[in-house]
Amino acid sequence: MADEKIEAAIMAGHCRPQQYKSWCGHAFEMLSWNHAGNIAHALGVARSDYSVTCATVDNSEGSAQIDLLFDVRGGAMYLFELKFNDHPYVMVAAEAKQLLRRRQVLEREYSGSRSINVCLFTPCGAKRNPQLDSVVDLVLDEAAVFRDAALTPDAVYPVDQHQHRNQRREDDSDDHR
């Protein structure tokens, strides 16, 4: 029903598709910020001393804008790329290159003294491909925010496991058509 209303608004000229996509992206970023505690819980760092921020980092490696950054005191850093999508996200080469550059800029900022984990947070998970495998360490889906992560330990999964999750999700959606 909601999709039909959105399509009707786009068709009537009240909203252009790019405006709608931009709005969804901004809304997803706000949702991520508002539920940072749930994300920390899903990562297993909720009981640690950590801070959450966004950052623009400039150094000799270049410049990087980071959507969401979890900095665990005395531990790892979690560099998040936030991608809103209505279906499993597919990373392309240009995005992988940009995300790798962000990691390199952050590593340079800390002179290699911190462990940096690159995380992708997208509502419907991600499809595994060489671009994703080359740069992303962890994928988080909606379960990291909307369900108790203690009850759903698969809210966070290493890149090498997410293909199975997305296949299962696609199989489930076929049952409802």
Distance CA 66, CA 29 (A): 12
What pTM, to 2 d.p., does this model score? 0.76
- CA angle at residue 97 from 95 to 99, to 5 degrees? 70
pLDDT tens per residue, range 62-93? 999 999 999 999 889 999 999 998 899 999 99
In the numeric block, which tokens belong to residue 61?
């490696």
| Number of residues in the chain | 177
Residue for token digits 């950590």? 50
Query: Do the beta carbons of residue 38 and residue 149 sit within 8 Å?
Result: yes
Low-confidence ranges of the chain (pLDDT < 70): 1-15, 147-177
In the CATH hierarchy, which top-level class contains the domain 35-175?
Answer: alpha beta
In the numeric block, which tokens belong to residue 90?
């597919």
Strands 77-82 and 116-121: parallel
